[in-house]
Every structure is written in C-alpha cells, then in structure tokens.
C-alpha cells in the first residue's frame, strides 16, 4: 500500500462496524470522491481474494473489511462465539416479503403468508435484519430491511436481489401442479378422477 490516503481508509474501514460510503470516507478524510475511488482501487488490489486474511467488500452502499471465510473455523474456535441459529422457513419467508415489498406492514405480511407474522417479525427485528420505518395510512408499523440485511446476504443494494420472475411457473408446470392438487384432494375425499 503506497498512499497515505489508502492507509487512512484502511484504518477507518477497520474501525467501523458498518459499511462506509464514498461520501462518508471523503468527508472524514477531507478528500475528493475521485481520490477516494483511487484509494479504494488500491485497497481492492491489496485485499484481493487469496492475498490476505481480510477482504474488502462492497455491501450496503459502502465498503467494509471482512474476514476471509477460510478463517471462519479457526476464528470461531479462538473466540468461542456461537453463531445465531439459522433462520426458520417462516422467518426467511417473512424476510423475503419485507425485502421485495418494503415498506410493508405486519398485517400485509400476514395476509401474504396466510398466517400470523408476529413471531417472525419480532425475531427479524431482534436480529436487526429489519427495522421499523414509519406507519401506513392505517397506522400499522411499516418494516424495511437494514444495512445488516445487505451485509449478511452480500448485496451491494436491493437492486442486487434476484428477480422473482425467474421462479414463475410455466403454464405446463401450473397445469401439473393443479392436477396433483386435485388428485390429492380427491384421495382425501375418497373419490377418484377418471
């Protein structure tokens, strides 16, 4: 690392628990956006995958230093930290609804899921993956994803979310599913279809 600015940015990224935007870095160092971009490029070279134990990652609209996944087991053994348990299917489903439809209220989430959403929403709030972001015209609390959500799912922004249209069923798949559901319903009712 050659430039003093790159070293300063490295220190700021090391000290910050949240990703830092180019604007934040420029303001803190009293530098231009172009100078920050050049220093980030220098850091990107120094922290290229496979070079060091840390990686420079662009997430949540900014930059952060993260440990190389290769060191995860050793770090866990040294620090003795237990990871959060995996999210349940209900929590993941709720998180997906918030991610794609935000801002969205708990009643809307419950309507989409077809079941009460209180517990999954509470867990996602506790884990700081979603946050309250105002109220709907009817007074219900609205929820949006957080920068931690972007960081955990390695997304630069919400535009990096996969396009849900890629999972749309074809007419043939819809027909097959309909036939299977009708057959299952008939089997439960004790009837058969010809």
Give the number of domains in the chain.
Answer: 3
Any idea what the Cα angle at residue 138 is, between residues 136 and 144, rounded to 5°?
Answer: 20
Specify if 95 maps to a domain: yes
Within 8 A by CB and 6+ apart from 83, the residues are: 76
Structural domain including 9 reads 4-72
Residue 63 shares a structural domain with residue 30: yes
Note the pLDDT tens digit of each residue in 124-150. Answer: 999 999 999 999 898 999 999 999 999
Residue 108 shares a structural domain with residue 153: yes
Residue 67 shares a structural domain with residue 9: yes
Q: Which pair of tokens denotes residue 172?
A: 């043939």
Specify if 83 maps to a domain: no
- pLDDT score for 80: 73
- Residue 39: pLDDT band by 50, 70, 90 thresholds? very high
Specify if 46 maps to a domain: yes
Q: What average pLDDT does range 171-186 have in this prediction?
A: 80
Q: Please give the mean pLDDT across all residues of the chain.
A: 88
Residue 167 pLDDT > 80, yes or no?
no
Note the pLDDT tens digit of each residue in 12-37. Answer: 999 998 999 999 999 999 999 999 99
Residue 182 shares a structural domain with residue 119: no
- pLDDT score for 191: 61
Q: What average pLDDT does range 170-194 have in this prediction?
A: 75
Residue 172 shares a structural domain with residue 145: no
Residue % of the chain over a pLDDT of 70: 95
- Residue 184: pLDDT band by 50, 70, 90 thresholds? confident
- pLDDT score for 2: 60
Q: Which pair of tokens denotes residue 87?
A: 């999210």
Specify if 79 maps to a domain: no
- Residue 84: pLDDT band by 50, 70, 90 thresholds? low
Specify if 30 maps to a domain: yes
CATH, residue 123: 1.10.10.10
């Amino acid at each position: 690392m050659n430039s003093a600015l790159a070293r300063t940015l490295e220190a700021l990224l090391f000290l910050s628990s949240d990703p830092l935007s180019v604007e934040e870095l420029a303001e803190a160092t009293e530098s231009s956006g172009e100078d920050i971009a050049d220093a980030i490029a220098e850091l990107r070279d120094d922290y290229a995958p496979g070079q060091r134990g840390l990686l420079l990652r662009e997430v949540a609209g900014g930059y952060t230093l993260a440990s190389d996944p290769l060191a995860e087991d050793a770090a866990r053994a040294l620090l003795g930290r237990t990871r959060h348990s995996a999210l349940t299917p209900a929590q993941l489903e709720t998180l997906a609804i918030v991610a794609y439809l935000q801002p969205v209220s708990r009643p809307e989430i419950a309507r989409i899921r077809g079941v009460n959403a209180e517990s999954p929403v509470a867990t996602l709030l506790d884990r700081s993956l979603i946050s309250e972001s105002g109220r709907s015209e009817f007074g219900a609390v609205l929820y949006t994803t957080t920068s931690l959500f972007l960081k955990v799912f390695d997304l630069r922004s919400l535009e990096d979310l996969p396009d849900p249209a890629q999972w749309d069923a074809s007419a043939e798949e819809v027909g097959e599913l309909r036939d299977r559901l009708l057959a299952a319903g008939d089997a439960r009712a004790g009837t058969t279809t010809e």
